[in-house]
Amino acid sequence: MILRKEFAVKKRFEHPVRSALVMISVIALLGGCSNPADHHEASRTVTDQLGRSVSVPKHINRIAALHHFGGKIVYALKEEDKLVEQALYGVDAVAMAAVDAAFAAKPKTLDGHAINIEELVALAPQVAFVYASFERSDMEQLENAGISVIAVRGETLEESFEAVRLMAHVLDCEEKADAYLADCLRLLTIVRDRLKDIPKDQRLKVMFAGPKSVYSVATGEMIQNQILELAGARNVAAALMGFWGDVSPEQVAVWNPDVIFLGSSLSTYGIEKVLKSPQFETVRAVREKKIYVFPSNIGWWDYPAPGCVLGVVWSAKTLYPERFNDLDMLAIADDFYTRYLGHSFTSMGGRL
């Protein structure tokens, strides 16, 4: 997971799907506004998501994406042939390397948990997409080497959609962004329409536990909160601020969530451990055995990127199965991965 506290979103949107629809309209307008005279210029200036003005080459054919967020967007935009390095990390990289020889052959620039700046510079990308939490000193090293550095972030769906628009603008492929975001919105709309008649006070109470401990919970400032809201749930920890709030067993008992989602994909704890804990014996989610591990084994569906719409669909189907019993989650995941990673979810080893 990525650091979210330092870059917590300052502005919340009351209707995230409606806001995203507005974004799509803006994209469509921007797509037809290029000036033929621009093609005679060697570079142009864009504003990244840290508010920095960055000069980028007019014609780009070598790029790097130094975080799974940017890497997956590059793939979703079908611009992966321009990558000079793998741009996918961890379990995502392992899964992709098993099915994609071209990916496996690309250099790895991740050294432990840090990017090897010297190796990256030697690969000579024209542009590097970095996450907003990327070290400023590393950004300066890349810029001093003549690489244009574009900072992106996606702590909400709105921000992640904005990142897609920005990257598509830099790579001159706005129509591909239109298709990707329209697909994301199609899935969100399906969920919204099937849940819209559930009154807010009757929506299920959910606790989303994080990777550190079952008592580390997703706050109201995190993407998990938005996923839960879009999936028709009430986040019991929505009033908390910051990044993964630590709470006591007594607080969990007071919240008494109807459902608990375990967000860890690292097997630091599991369903059975929670069920057997005496500190949870009074919690409704435990009494009714409604504890679920959030997908997936080849890359989380609750990280900040447009692909977390799969997490929204899965959450809604898990919480309200009777409203989604006609939806095949595995088929939806296979289709989405095939369209935007080039290989189906199951072919990459994905499981639900």
| CATH number of domain containing 103 | 3.40.50.1980
For residue 13, give the DSSP letter.
-
> In whole angstroms, what is the distance from residue 106 CA to residue 226 CA?
35
Residues 211 and 236 in one domain: yes
Domain boundary among 127, 155, 186: 186
* 288 found inside a domain: yes
Q: What was the pLDDT predicted at 268?
A: 67
Give the lowest-confidence range in 33-47, 59-73, 132-146, 321-335: 33-47
The pLDDT score that the predictor gives to residue 190 is 98
pLDDT tens-digit series, residues 158-195? 999 999 999 999 999 999 999 999 999 999 999 999 99
Flag whether 262 is in a domain: yes
Looking at the structure, do residues 141 and 209 belong to the same domain, yes or no?
A: no
Q: In the prediction, which pLDDT does 38 show?
A: 43
| Helix and strand counts by DSSP (H, E) for the chain | 14, 13
- Among 186, 213, 231, the domain boundary falls at 186
* 210 shares its domain with 335: yes
Tell me, yes or no, whether 8 lies in a domain: no
Is residue 4's pLDDT more than 80? no
Statement: residue 132 has pLDDT above 90: yes
pLDDT of residue 176: 98
How many Cβ atoms sit within 10 Å of the Cβ of residue 207? 27
Same domain, 110 and 217: no
Please state the φ and ψ torsions of residue 316, each to the nearest 5 degrees.
Answer: -65, -45
- Sign of torsion over alpha carbons 200, 313, 167, 142: positive
| pLDDT value of residue 267 | 57
Helix boundaries (H) for 12-100: 16-31, 68-76, 90-99
Which segments within 154-275 are labelled E, that is strand? 204-209, 216-217, 233-235, 245-246, 259-262
Which domain, by its residues, includes 39? 16-186
On average, the pLDDT of the chain sits at 87
Both 211 and 321 in a single domain? yes
Residues 159 and 225 in one domain: no
Domain contains 3 = no
How many domains is the chain built from?
Answer: 2
Query: Does 14 score more than 50 pLDDT?
Result: no
Q: What is the pLDDT of residues 272-315, one digit of tens each?
A: 888 998 999 999 999 999 999 988 888 889 887 888 999 999 99
State the pLDDT confidence band at 346, using cuts at 50, 70 and 90: very high
Residue 332 lies in a domain: yes
Both 137 and 178 in a single domain? Answer: yes
Answer yes or no: do 125 and 265 share one domain: no
Same domain assignment for residues 211 and 121: no
Quickly state the pLDDT bin for 264 (edges 50, 70, 90).
low
Mark whether 138 and 242 lie in a shared domain.
no
Q: What is the mean pLDDT of residues 203-219?
A: 92
If asked whether residues 133 and 222 sit together in one domain, one would say no
Return the pLDDT at 270: 80
| Residue 9 domain flag | no
